[in-house]
Amino acid sequence: MNTQAFEDFLKAGKYDEIVNVSKDVGYKMDEHQHTFDACALITSGQIDITVDGIKSEYKVGDVFRLAAGVVHLEDASRYGVSYLVSRRKT
């Protein structure tokens, strides 16, 4: 997905402000959850998101969505990652 299509998708889905996030090589976050829906477009690198023991890899151009309350792990340790992300209050 390109940036404009992503921004259009977020607007239609009533997501809040879009921010750019970067995580360095070596970044990992143990199990956690959010109080908001999150939607992100990978702009460089890669991040692996693990939910219920199932790991999904997200690379440049991929979009990942996480609903509020979903317990997950994040791992961008191999390449680092940058992404555009927005939140939606539930």
CATH of the domain at 24: 2.60.120.10
Our count of domains for the chain comes to 1
Which structural domain range is residue 70 located in? 3-89
- Start-end of H helices in 1-90: 3-12
- Predicted local confidence at residue 12, as pLDDT: 93
Instruction: Inform me whether the pLDDT recorded for 16 exceeds 90.
Output: no
48-87 residue pLDDT tens? 999 999 999 999 999 999 999 999 999 999 999 999 999 9
- Predicted local confidence at residue 88, as pLDDT: 95
pTM: 0.92
51-62 residue pLDDT tens? 999 999 999 999
Q: In angstroms, rounded to a whole number, what is the distance separating the alpha carbons of residues 43 and 80?
A: 11
Quote the tokens at residue 26.
């070596």
